[in-house]
């Protein structure tokens, strides 16, 4: 099994070490200062040349310690592969992410079936260090690689009727044995209001820790919406639909009193069965206070300015 890998925009038959080198040089020259940073980035040299191409390094450093790559890739939630934290690592390794297709439908001018490479241009990939706060009151800090969702959605030309965006995970119980049990409604589905999806923080992520996305973390492509509880960050996406009405979501169907459509991280709104005031950073001993919008208040509070966040939880 070969993993989905990002290729340069030259045909596979033309990929030679020289042509890749030329592409890399071209990118470094056009990216100027970023190019210098790339040369200093220890990950650049460690990556295989046809895996994720050069990416723009993160410019905003929160100063927080990163969660270890080991913790982030061995302690996962991905119910399609089982409900235990190590099940995804165990059971996701044979997921075939080759020739991944994404169906785009609904209120947009560019519906159709897209190859992942046609939506995510390797040279647009950026690194973003984000906190991810699970509804279960643990959190991680992960260096993601991805493209801002806004640029992808704009390229699909949503119509004026597009008020929401709905996403679906692959449905394939043979590859995703967890789908043989009805712990959730399959396929896993999630949704965002279009302005949330277009917020500059929202990432369409294809990798982490300088590498192609591991299967257990949502290969080949997942959302990362860092101010919302982790379950909004849907993995292994095969469908993007622009809708006029608020879409249904798997977790809201399974527990409407526990998991709302918005699911913004909010220490003032407890889960009916536990407090959301504190969280345990994976790898650390002491709990820390959970922050409003997971600490991204400056970037996103305006999206909800006239809303009662207890009603719209």
Ligand X SMILES: Nc1nc2c(c(=O)[nH]1)N[C@H]1C(S)=C(S)[C@@H](COP(=O)(O)O)O[C@H]1N2
* Footprint on residues 18-37 left by ligand X (CB under 6 A): none
Closest residue to ligand X, judged by C-beta, is 230
Half-sphere exposure of 60 (CA within 13 A, CB side): 10
Question: Minimal CA–CA distance to 89: which of 98, 102, 80, 76?
Answer: 76
- Picked from ligand X, Mo ion, none, the partner binding residue 78 (CB below 5 to 8 A depending on kind) is ligand X
Residue selected from 8, 53, 77, 199 as contacting ligand X according to rule CB under 6 A: 77
Q: Closer CB to Mo ion, residue 56 or residue 232? A: 232
If one asks whether residue 76 binds ligand X (CB under 6 A), the answer comes out as yes
Q: Closer CB to ligand X, residue 27 or residue 313? A: 313
Q: Closer CB to ligand X, residue 119 or residue 134? A: 134
Query: How many residues line the site for ligand X (CB under 6 A)?
Result: 17
Q: CB 233 → ligand X: shortest distance, Å?
A: 5
164-169 and 237-243 strand pairing: antiparallel
Question: Minimal CA–CA distance to 289: which of 257, 265, 258?
Answer: 265
- Picked from ligand X, Mo ion, none, the partner binding residue 80 (CB below 5 to 8 A depending on kind) is ligand X
Q: What is the DSSP string of the chain?
A: -PPP----SS-GGG--HHHHHHHHHHHHHHHTHHHHHHHH-HHHHHS-TTSS---BPP-----PPPPPHHHHHHS---GGG-SSTTHHHHHSTT---TT-EEEEEESBS--EEEEHHHHS-GGG-EEEEEEEE-TTSEEEEEEEEEEEHHHHHHHT-B-TT--EEEEEE---TTT-GGGGS-SSPSSPEEEEEHHHHTSTT-EEEEEETTEEPPGGGTSS-EEE-TTB-GGGS--SEEEEEEESSPPP-HHHHH-TTT--SS-B--TTS-BTTB--SEEEETT-SS-EEPPGGGG-HHHHGGGGTTS-TTT--
Residue selected from 125, 134, 206, 225 as contacting ligand X according to rule CB under 6 A: 134
- Picked from ligand X, Mo ion, none, the partner binding residue 235 (CB below 5 to 8 A depending on kind) is ligand X
- Picked from ligand X, Mo ion, none, the partner binding residue 189 (CB below 5 to 8 A depending on kind) is none
Residue selected from 4, 6, 27, 78 as contacting ligand X according to rule CB under 6 A: 78
If one asks whether residue 293 binds ligand X (CB under 6 A), the answer comes out as no
Q: CB 246 → Mo ion: shortest distance, Å?
A: 21
* Footprint on residues 160-199 left by ligand X (CB under 6 A): 169, 188
Q: CB 134 → ligand X: shortest distance, Å?
A: 4
Q: Closer CB to ligand X, residue 15 or residue 172? A: 172
- Picked from ligand X, Mo ion, none, the partner binding residue 76 (CB below 5 to 8 A depending on kind) is ligand X
Where do contacts with Mo ion occur on this chain (CB under 5 A)?
77, 134-135, 230-231
* Footprint on residues 216-235 left by ligand X (CB under 6 A): 217-218, 230-231, 233-235
Half-sphere exposure of 103 (CA within 13 A, CB side): 9
- Picked from ligand X, Mo ion, none, the partner binding residue 79 (CB below 5 to 8 A depending on kind) is ligand X
For ligand X, the binding residues (CB under 6 A) are: 76-80, 132, 134, 169, 188, 217-218, 230-231, 233-236
């Amino acid at each position: 099994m070969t993993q989905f890998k990002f290729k340069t925009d030259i045909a596979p038959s033309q990929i030679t070490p020289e042509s890749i080198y030329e592409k890399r040089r071209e990118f470094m020259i056009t990216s100027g200062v970023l190019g210098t940073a790339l040369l200093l980035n220890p990950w650049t040299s460690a990556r295989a040349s046809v895996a994720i191409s050069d990416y723009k390094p993160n410019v905003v450093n929160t100063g927080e310690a990163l969660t270890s790559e080991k913790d982030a890739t061995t302690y996962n939630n991905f119910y399609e592969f089982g409900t235990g934290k190590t099940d995804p690592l165990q059971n996701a390794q044979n997921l075939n992410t080759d020739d991944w297709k994404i169906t785009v439908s609904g209120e947009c001018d560019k519906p159709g079936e897209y190859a992942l490479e046609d939506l995510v241009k390797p040279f647009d990939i950026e690194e973003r260090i984000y906190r991810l706060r699970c509804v279960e009151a643990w959190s991680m800090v992960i260096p993601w690689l991805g493209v801002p969702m806004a640029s992808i959605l704009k390229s699909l030309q949503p119509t004026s009727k597009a008020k929401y965006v709905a996403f679906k995970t692959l449905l394939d119980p043979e590859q995703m044995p967890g789908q043989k049990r009805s712990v959730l409604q399959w396929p896993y589905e999630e949704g965002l209001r279009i302005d949330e999806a277009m917020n500059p923080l929202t990432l369409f992520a294809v990798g982490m820790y300088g590498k192609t996305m591991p299967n257990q973390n949502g290969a080949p492509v997942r959302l990362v919406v860092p101010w919302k509880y982790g379950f909004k960050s849907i993995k292994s996406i095969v469908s993007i639909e622009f809708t006029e009405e608020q879409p249904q979501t798997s977790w809201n169907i399974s527990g409407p009193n526990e998991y709302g459509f918005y699911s913004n991280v909010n220490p003032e709104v407890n889960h009916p069965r536990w407090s959301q005031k504190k969280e345990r950073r994976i790898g650390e001993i002491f709990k820390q206070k959970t922050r409003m919008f997971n600490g991204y208040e400056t970037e996103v509070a305006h999206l909800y300015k006239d809303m009662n966040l207890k009603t719209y939880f």
